[in-house]
Amino acid sequence: SLCFYLLLFLCGWGAEVSHCTALGVRVAEYLQQYYNLQEEPMGRIKRSSPIFTSKVKDMQIFFGLNATGALDSDTLEVMSTPRCGVPDVEELSLIQGTRWNKNVITYSIGRYTRDLPRYTVDSLVDSAFSVWARASGLTFVRSHTRSADIMVEFLTNQHGDLYPFDGPRGTLAHAFGPGLGVGGDTHFDDDEHWTAGETGFNLFIVAAHEFGHALGLKHSTNPESLMYPTYKSSRPVRGRPGYFSRYGSQYNPWVSGSLVPRLMQNKCDADLTFDAVSTLGDATFFFKERYEYLLSLSFLFFYDSSPSSCELREKLNQKCLESTAYLIHESMFWTVRGSLVKGKPRALSHFGFPAWVQDVDAAVHIVKTGRTLFFMHDIYWSYNENRRVMDFGYPKYIGEDFPGVNTTINAALYKDGFIHFFVGPQVYKFDYTQKYVVGVEKANSWLGC
């Protein structure tokens, strides 16, 4: 029988028939839940039937496996990986509609998990919604009533929606697509171990995925997408000048492990300094030696290379625009548009610098004026982004136009009308309109220290 030969392949000659039976049940349940495998008459599913083999092939095709229809080790490994409970290929009732018919969506947190303090759950859920707020233009407002559009709850086993949880591992969470009633509601299996870090299952990461379903997105076959159905093991993320590894195909945000290099363990060092700070859309990146950091995990996914953000914008009939940034290293710079480095590196002289300028200490774009300021030692330049020329009369002395900032600048960032000058382990908050320093703080405070 198929069961007998499957045992020989998977477990060796000494395997027991009871194990084969349990394995067959698990495989059948997986295909029923995620690939709409239907029971045959008399409530039986024959593993030798063409329908069963066809569903196995569907699953293998979805995950990029060799589509043989056979339950090989790679197939069984994927089936045993913790994952989202929303089906992969079928239009079942979990995905109810296509989009919300409003731009302000309310959410409420009902039952909490005991694994984390309530304020931590609140913060992680808020951060996960912020991912989609920045990707979609939608506004998410916290409500404290059960009449909210999206109810977020931690539940176990049978919990009243016909999609029971299965205990530790297996199905981690599921969400209903946009619609009335349970539409948008998001449930997490409270038999899992929920964390805010690397152990157990990271709530922020799982929530960001599930809220994609709550907005009408399906699973993606791209392993690098936030909407990929399985929860991946950890792997390091590294970068080098001129290349955004966090944006490229190496990065998969649907992971539980280290989202930043080990150097980040010292992020609260009182002497922490940065080599550069930059914004790309609503995300803020901090560069230190060979590594890059994010201001907040809540900004992580909008700039992932997956199609999720553009796909969501298209659902909302919005145009998906690509942000542009420049990476400067010594006398060269790279153009980063969307998620890719565009073209070859070019010399700094492209901006109109004199030939003797071979490096800059910091650069900051002032949205209000359309200027980019470049700082080097005790002088700075002003570049007109609209005319693409350097403004007349530069360079000027930093100390004259930025009183109170009389030293070499490591990095600079413009936000809410203020320029934040990173000078060693300190940050000077400079009022760009009134032209004076309004405060000084530690650089590590920007990383939550």
**Annotated binding residue at 149?**
yes
Please name every residue paired with 331 in a beta bridge, in sequence order, or none if there are none: none
- Decide if pLDDT at 340 tops 90: no
Identify which has the larger pLDDT, 290 or 422: 422
pLDDT confidence of residue 173? 95
**Annotated binding residue at 174?**
yes
Which of 304-308, 328-332, 338-342 has the largest mean confidence?
Answer: 328-332
pLDDT confidence of residue 446? 80
Q: Which of 46-50, 201-205, 219-223, 330-334 has the lowest mean pLDDT?
A: 46-50
CA–chain centroid gap for 225, Å, is 9
Residue 407 · residue 270 · CB < 8 Å: no
**Annotated binding residue at 227?**
yes
Domain 2-80 listed as CATH 1.10.101.10: yes
Has 210 been annotated as catalytic? yes
Identify which has the larger pLDDT, 359 or 207: 207
Kindly report the average pLDDT of the chain as a whole number. Answer: 75
- Decide if pLDDT at 4 tops 70: no
Identify which has the larger pLDDT, 430 or 49: 430
Of 210, 224, 292, 311, the active-site residue reads: 210
Options 3.40.390.10, 3.40.190.80, 3.90.79.10, 3.30.930.10; CATH for 93-259+300-320 is 3.40.390.10
Enumerate the domain spans of the chain: 2-80, 93-259+300-320, 262-299+321-447
**Annotated binding residue at 185?**
yes
| C-alpha–C-alpha distance, residues 413 and 432, integer Å | 12
Q: Which of 75-89, 117-131, 213-227, 263-277 has the lowest mean pLDDT?
A: 263-277
Non-local (6+) Cβ contacts of 436 within 8 A are 403, 404, 430
| C-alpha–C-alpha distance, residues 422 and 428, integer Å | 7
Non-local (6+) Cβ contacts of 362 within 8 A are 276, 374, 375, 409, 410, 411, 412, 421, 422
pLDDT category at 299 given cuts 50, 70, 90 is very low
- The mean per-residue pLDDT over the stretch 379-399 comes to 90
Tokens read off for 79: 């089936």
pLDDT category at 162 given cuts 50, 70, 90 is confident
- Decide if pLDDT at 249 tops 50: no
Residue 126 · residue 160 · CB < 8 Å: no
- Decide if pLDDT at 375 tops 70: yes
CA–chain centroid gap for 227, Å, is 10
pLDDT tens figures, 36-88? 888 766 556 666 688 889 999 999 999 999 999 999 999 999 999 999 999 99
**Annotated binding residue at 190?**
yes
CATH superfamily, region 262-299+321-447: Hemopexin-like domain (2.110.10.10)
